[in-house]
Structure formats: C-alpha cells, structure tokens
Amino acid sequence: MSWKELGEASVVRGGSSVAYVTTGWRVNRPVIDESKCTNCLICWVFCPEPAIVRHEKGKVTIDYDHCKGCGICEIECPLKAIKMVREP
C-alpha cells in the first residue's frame, strides 16, 4: 500500500488479531487423539494463544488459523492425547 493511502501511526482497531492468520508460522501442528482426550482443558490453560477452542458440542479442538505450532499443549497434556505432527 502506498504511504499516501496508509493510515498514520499504525492504529488498529481492537480485535484485529482474529483476522490475522498465523497458519504459515507452524512447522509442526498439534493433532488431538480423540480416543484419549477427556476435555479436561489443561491445554486451554497453557496455550499462549487462544488456539484451543471448544466446538458447539463442547469437544476440545484446535483453531489452526491461530495456532503457531509451539507444542506446549503436547507437553502439558496429562493423557498424552496431543501429538505434534509435521506440517505437510
């Protein structure tokens, strides 16, 4: 964008991070083994992003648009229900 069209001082309305997709940041992606997951939400506590979400039926799932692939959830899951898998 030209400097003439750009707003001054990089002012961004609150909530803009939702629109910012970080999929490309990941090397590995967390994959939940649903047979082991008990929805305890320990991963939700430790996730530094709001990338652990619960879908409409209350099941824990991962928001791959905002997960940066740090792998903390894999380490913190007490049931070893999350595995980091290489992105294709």
Question: Toward another protein, which CB reaches closer, 6 or 58?
Answer: 6
Q: Is residue 19 close enough to count as binding another protein by CB under 8 A?
A: no
Q: Is residue 48 close enough to count as binding another protein by CB under 8 A?
A: no
Question: Toward another protein, which CB reaches closer, 5 or 56?
Answer: 5
Shortest Cβ distance from residue 7 to another protein (Å)?
8
Nearest to 41 by CA among 26, 52, 27, 29: 52
Question: Toward another protein, which CB reaches closer, 18 or 85?
Answer: 18
Nearest to 73 by CA among 45, 54, 53: 45
Pair of tokens at residue 44: 């939700």
- Contacting residues toward another protein, per CB under 8 A: 1-3, 6, 8-16
